[in-house]
């Protein structure tokens, strides 16, 4: 697969469930022009690791917003499945949950497990000009770190050289 980091993010338009479970909307890359976007894929609704990630990102969405970033979750489940999950065991979240039922977006981002029809845990930070600046993809059994996502977002926003374990307030190289 071709790398995405440093390149224009693949265009997308997807149906989504509003985070409060009240209804549906559409989301597209164009909606996030001028903002940072933290877009994370997860394999399936009503599973075990996924709700730990989704609720953790939701609890800290204000920290992302403070950095000028929006959060968007995506899976290959339908927007109706997302709504049912929000309105039952998941609870309300503070960002839309997009539906990639055609699997095109997961494929375009290089994280589709074709034999299973689900996405790997891929996370992408896209800058206000629509350029992918960060990508991490790993096994579906392992949840991601919200702390690390925020650290990387802040590092990217400096526009400078950030050494290993850089944190906000540390010197740049």
Q: Which residues are catalytic?
A: 50
**Contact call for residues 9 and 128 (beta carbons, < 8 A):** no
Phi, psi of 119, rounded to the nearest 5 degrees: -95, 150
**Contact call for residues 86 and 94 (beta carbons, < 8 A):** no
Cα–Cα distance list, 112 to 71, 74, 81, 121, 169 (Å): 20, 12, 19, 10, 37
**Contact call for residues 133 and 154 (beta carbons, < 8 A):** no
CA 159 to CA 151: how far, in whole Å?
13
């Amino acid at each position: 697969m071709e790398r995405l980091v440093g390149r224009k993010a693949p265009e997308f338009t997807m149906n989504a469930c509003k985070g409060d479970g009240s209804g549906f909307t559409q989301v597209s890359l164009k909606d996030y022009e001028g903002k940072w976007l933290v877009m994370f894929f997860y394999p399936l609704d009503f599973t075990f690791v996924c709700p730990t990630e989704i609720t953790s990102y939701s609890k800290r969405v204000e920290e992302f917003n403070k950095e000028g970033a929006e959060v968007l979750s995506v899976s290959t489940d339908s927007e109706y499945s997302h709504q049912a999950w929000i309105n039952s065991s998941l609870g309300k979240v503070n960002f839309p949950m997009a539906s990639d039922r055609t699997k095109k977006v997961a494929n375009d981002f290089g994280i589709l497990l074709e034999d299973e029809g689900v996405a790997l845990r891929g996370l992408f930070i896209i800058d206000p000009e629509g350029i992918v600046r960060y990508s991490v993809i790993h096994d579906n059994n392992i949840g991601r770190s919200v702390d690390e996502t925020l650290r990387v977002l802040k590092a990217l926003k400096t526009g400078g050289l950030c050494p290993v374990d850089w944190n906000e307030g540390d010197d740049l190289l």
